[in-house]
């Protein structure tokens, strides 16, 4: 497995560096940092910041934090400063970072595959109650995100999380972030293969290793035996597929991503068995580390390298320089016609049931999570999963316990038979806590759902599949603007009276699966926050009255 690139990338590639310059690739000899982020990572490996948090900052408080750690290396442990309250979105781009910084933090807990025991869920909830003012959001990356965290409390929070096998390590930063996995891995009647052992092994072998935690940019992974994790928009994705000769395994895809230059991942045309997934993952992340573009942050994601190289060259470099062997050619996985959100009651392959509930835009609370853990245990379950659509599942419920659990979840504001509007809405963090935000999202998502449930009650039964509405507080697309039926990108817009107000640019008709493609950005098509309900109502009514058979 050792390769010259991994052992000494600079030495191995120095001759080529003279031939081609420009993007800051380590493999071409660019070892000197070309921007401040690269400089910061070179000056001190970001994983080292934890000991400073524990030994210096937690004792000295917010004012003792070195700015380079505060706005850079803290991310490698899931910590971002949150937005100071009261700063409107129109000022986001005009203020210096320190003017936007609150002295409280957002903290992400990485939950690979969204898989939790009820004990872990209860601990996550209790930490929120004690240290995060009862905040807890389920993100579309199957993480839980807290707010109002004080640096003084971080050592205790880590102790509590690690006591139940959880971590915040590389939850953010230029590193391998939380890995998505099917929320119904191992239990779905129709899954091709259970990817959980591969996720576990990648974590065991590579997570927290410095050589995989200084990447050009973030690195997003999905491993799933079902196409239910938005694999098309990941840096690397392993998607379940049956090979005609070799049986169940994974199709490898690379170079997907959203944000301002959205790209669908490209298939390498290779089939990988379960036990080889970690090795291939290591090869892909190593290519990114060594050949990824480190000059401009805006071109540093793997998708830009994949776009320049193409899938064929990428596979060739992976095989020849990293794996030192050929991969097996494989077929494409079947694409689903609709995105599965797993909400409702579904039979597992062992005869038990899983029950999926829908918070609005992922917003829950620590208290709610503690109560969910207890309700699940009363229903005989000790396993919970979070989904990439910001939903929550309780697994392993006996048929006779399902109604009781459903009633308890509904009591907690987590209906298991929600309206299609509630099912279809996702929302990013938005202006309440995010420093990059221009508009508010979470409350708006809630108000939107309430209003649509009232105004569209007459046509609710005609909607076979939820119409997805994704609210994003800025162009960064954390809630996947481009993959929604109605994608909303937060920005300041001009209302009818000429006032500058919060609003959205609209993308229509995005989706993943069978017709993966990004919604059309309707230039000049903008709605104010106040007009949003009426706008979505009109789009849905027009769609339902004018659609052709089978049209999404």
| Site of interaction with ligand SF4 (CB under 6 A) | 428-430, 434, 436-437, 472-474, 476-478
> What's the closest the beta carbon of residue 473 comes to ligand SF4, in angstroms?
3
> What's the closest the beta carbon of residue 487 comes to ligand SF4, in angstroms?
11
| Residue 272 φ then ψ, to 5° | -125, 130
Candidates 291, 258, 322; CA nearest to 512 is 258
> What's the closest the beta carbon of residue 148 comes to ligand SF4, in angstroms?
16
Q: Which is nearer to ligand SF4, 450 or 476 (CB)?
A: 476
DSSP 465: S
Residue 369 has which token pair?
A: 């999570």
Candidates 349, 402, 350; CA nearest to 376 is 402
> What's the closest the beta carbon of residue 472 comes to ligand SF4, in angstroms?
4
96 C-beta neighbours (distance < 10 Å), count: 7
Q: What is the three-class DSSP state of 274?
A: helix
Q: Which is nearer to ligand SF4, 264 or 428 (CB)?
A: 428
Q: Which is nearer to ligand SF4, 436 or 448 (CB)?
A: 436
Residue pair 114/138 in contact (Cβ under 8 Å)? The answer is no
CA dihedral for 295, 301, 303, 306, sign (positive or negative): positive
Counting beta carbons within 10 angstroms of the beta carbon of residue 397, is it exposed (0 to 12), middle (13 to 18) or buried (19 or more)?
buried
CA separation, residue 289 to residues 217, 222, 241, 301, 502 (Å): 9, 18, 28, 10, 39
Q: Which is nearer to ligand SF4, 299 or 480 (CB)?
A: 480
> What's the closest the beta carbon of residue 223 comes to ligand SF4, in angstroms?
24
> What's the closest the beta carbon of residue 451 comes to ligand SF4, in angstroms?
22
Q: Which is nearer to ligand SF4, 382 or 476 (CB)?
A: 476
Q: Which is nearer to ligand SF4, 115 or 144 (CB)?
A: 144
Return d(Cα 510, Cα 506) in angstroms, integer: 11
Residue pair 318/274 in contact (Cβ under 8 Å)? The answer is no
Which positions ≥6 away from 348 have C-beta within 8 Å?
Answer: 184, 187, 188, 189, 354, 395, 396
Q: Which is nearer to ligand SF4, 12 or 428 (CB)?
A: 428
Q: Where are the beta strands (DSSP E) in 302-341?
A: 328-329
What is the three-state SS of 8-26?
CHHHHHHHHHHHCCCCCCH
> What's the closest the beta carbon of residue 296 comes to ligand SF4, in angstroms?
19
> What's the closest the beta carbon of residue 439 comes to ligand SF4, in angstroms?
8
Candidates 361, 357, 359, 354; CA nearest to 379 is 354
Candidates 121, 179, 194, 182; CA nearest to 414 is 121
No. of helices (H) and no. of strands (E), the chain:
17, 21
Counting beta carbons within 10 angstroms of the beta carbon of residue 130, is it exposed (0 to 12), middle (13 to 18) or buried (19 or more)?
middle
Q: Which is nearer to ligand SF4, 428 or 448 (CB)?
A: 428
Residue pair 252/234 in contact (Cβ under 8 Å)? The answer is no
Q: What is the three-class DSSP state of 31?
A: coil
Question: Nearest-CB residue to ligand SF4?
Answer: 473
> What's the closest the beta carbon of residue 476 comes to ligand SF4, in angstroms?
4
> What's the closest the beta carbon of residue 430 comes to ligand SF4, in angstroms?
5
461 C-beta neighbours (distance < 10 Å), count: 8
Q: Which is nearer to ligand SF4, 282 or 440 (CB)?
A: 440
DSSP 102: E
Q: Which is nearer to ligand SF4, 225 or 430 (CB)?
A: 430
Half-sphere exposure (Cβ direction) of 333: Cα atoms closer than 13 Å = 31
Q: What's the N-to-C CA distance of the chain in angstroms? A: 46
> What's the closest the beta carbon of residue 534 comes to ligand SF4, in angstroms?
23
Q: Which residue has the tokens 């907690």?
A: 412
> What's the closest the beta carbon of residue 478 comes to ligand SF4, in angstroms?
3
Q: Which is nearer to ligand SF4, 127 or 474 (CB)?
A: 474
Q: Which is nearer to ligand SF4, 25 or 477 (CB)?
A: 477
Q: Which is nearer to ligand SF4, 147 or 422 (CB)?
A: 147
Q: Which is nearer to ligand SF4, 504 or 543 (CB)?
A: 504
Residue pair 149/397 in contact (Cβ under 8 Å)? The answer is no
> What's the closest the beta carbon of residue 113 comes to ligand SF4, in angstroms?
22
Q: What is the three-class DSSP state of 269?
A: strand
> What's the closest the beta carbon of residue 436 comes to ligand SF4, in angstroms?
4
């Amino acid at each position: 497995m050792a390769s010259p690139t991994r052992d000494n990338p600079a030495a191995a590639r120095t001759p080529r560096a003279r031939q081609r310059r420009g993007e800051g690739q380590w493999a071409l000899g660019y070892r000197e940092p070309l921007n401040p982020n690269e400089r910061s990572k070179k000056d001190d490996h970001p994983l080292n910041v934890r000991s400073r948090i524990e030994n210096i900052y937690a004792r000295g408080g917010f004012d003792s934090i070195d700015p380079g750690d505060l706005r850079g290396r803290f991310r490698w442990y899931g910590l971002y400063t949150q937005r100071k309250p009261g700063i409107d979105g129109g000022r986001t781009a005009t203020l210096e970072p320190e003017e936007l910084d609150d002295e409280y933090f957002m903290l992400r807990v990485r939950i690979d595959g969204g898989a939790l025991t009820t004990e872990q869920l209860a601990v996550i909830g209790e930490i929120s109650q004690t240290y995060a003012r009862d905040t807890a959001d389920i993100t579309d990356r199957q993480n839980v995100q807290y707010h109002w965290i004080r640096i003084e409390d971080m050592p205790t929070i880590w102790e509590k999380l690690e006591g139940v096998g959880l971590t915040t390590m590389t939850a953010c930063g230029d590193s391998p972030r939380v890995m998505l996995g099917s929320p119904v891995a191992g239990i779905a009647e129709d899954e091709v293969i259970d990817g959980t052992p591969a996720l576990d092994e990648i974590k065991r072998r590579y997570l927290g290793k410095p050589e995989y935690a200084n990447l050009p940019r973030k690195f997003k992974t999905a491993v799933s035996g079902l196409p239910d994790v938005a694999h098309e928009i990941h840096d690397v994705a392993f998607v379940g597929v049956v090979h005609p000769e070799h049986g169940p395994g994974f199709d490898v895809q690379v170079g997907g991503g959203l944000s301002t230059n959205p790209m669908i991942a490209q298939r390498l045309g290779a089939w990988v068995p379960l036990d080889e997934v970690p090795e291939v993952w290591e090869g892909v992340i190593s290519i990114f580390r060594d050949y990824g573009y480190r000059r401009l942050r805006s071109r540093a994601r793997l998708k830009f390298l994949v776009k320049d190289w193409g899938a064929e060259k990428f596979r060739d470099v992976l095989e020849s320089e990293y794996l030192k062997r050929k991969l097996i050619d494989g077929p494409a996985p079947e694409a689903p016609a609709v995105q599965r959100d797993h909400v409702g009651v579904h039979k597992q392959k062992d005869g038990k049931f899983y029950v999926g509930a829908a918070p609005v835009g992922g917003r829950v609370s620590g208290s709610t999570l503690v109560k969910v853990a207890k309700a699940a245990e009363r229903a005989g379950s000790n396993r919970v999963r979070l989904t990439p659509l910001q939903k929550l599942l309780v697994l392993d419920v006996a048929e006779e316990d399902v109604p009781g659990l459903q009633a308890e979840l509904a009591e907690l504001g987590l209906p298991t038979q929600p309206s299609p509007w509630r099912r279809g809405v996702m929302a990013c963090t938005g202006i309440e806590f995010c420093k990059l935000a221009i508009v508010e999202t979470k409350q708006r998502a809630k108000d939107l759902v309430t209003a649509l449930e009232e105004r569209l009650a007459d046509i609710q039964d005609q909607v076979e599949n939820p119409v997805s509405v994704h609210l994003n507080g800025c162009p960064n697309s954390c809630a996947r603007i481009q993959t929604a039926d109605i994608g909303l990108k937060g920005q300041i817009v001009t209302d009818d009276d000429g006032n500058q107000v919060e609003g959205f640019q609209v993308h229509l008709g995005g989706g993943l699966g069978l017709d993966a493609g990004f919604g059309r950005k309707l230039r000049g098509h903008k709605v104010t926050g106040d007009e949003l309900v009426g706008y979505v109502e009109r789009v849905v009514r027009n769609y339902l009255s004018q659609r052709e058979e089978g049209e999404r």
